[in-house]
Amino acid sequence: MSSSVEQKYPLAPLVINHNVVSEPDRKLLQDALIWSIKTSTNYLHQSVSGNKPNEFEVFRQRRKNAFELIQIFDGCAYAPYDPSARLRNKTFPRVAMAEAELPMHLIETIRAVLWDFITVPDHMNEETHEWVKRLMGYFNTEE
Partner 1 sequence: MRLISINGHHLSESQINCLREILVVEITSHSETIRTKRTDDMTVFYHYRQMAFNLLQLIDEDPIAPLQQFADPDGHAGPDVCGEPVVIIDNVKVNYLTRMETRMAISAAGFNLEELKKVQKEKGFDIKNHNDLLKMIFEPK
Q: Does 1 bind partner 1 (CB under 8 A)?
A: yes
Q: Does 124 bind partner 1 (CB under 8 A)?
A: no
Q: Does 5 bind partner 1 (CB under 8 A)?
A: yes
Q: Given the rule CB under 8 A, which of 39-47, 89-97, 109-117, 121-129 is the region that contacts partner 1?
A: 39-47
In our burial notation (b when 16+ CB lie closer than 10 A, e otherwise), range 62-85 reads bbebbebbbebbeeeeebeeeeee
Q: Which of 13, 19, 20, 48 binds partner 1 (CB under 8 A)?
A: 48
Q: How far are the Cα atoms of 19, 48, 62, 82, 91 from residue 134, in angstroms, in the given order? A: 12, 35, 22, 28, 24
| Nearest of 7, 25, 1 to residue 15 by alpha carbon | 25
Q: Does 18 bind partner 1 (CB under 8 A)?
A: no
Q: Given the rule CB under 8 A, which of 68-76, 91-99, 101-109, 122-130 is the region that contacts partner 1?
A: 68-76
Q: Does 79 bind partner 1 (CB under 8 A)?
A: no
> What amino acid is encoded at 79 in this protein?
A
Q: Which of 13, 20, 22, 27 binds partner 1 (CB under 8 A)?
A: 27
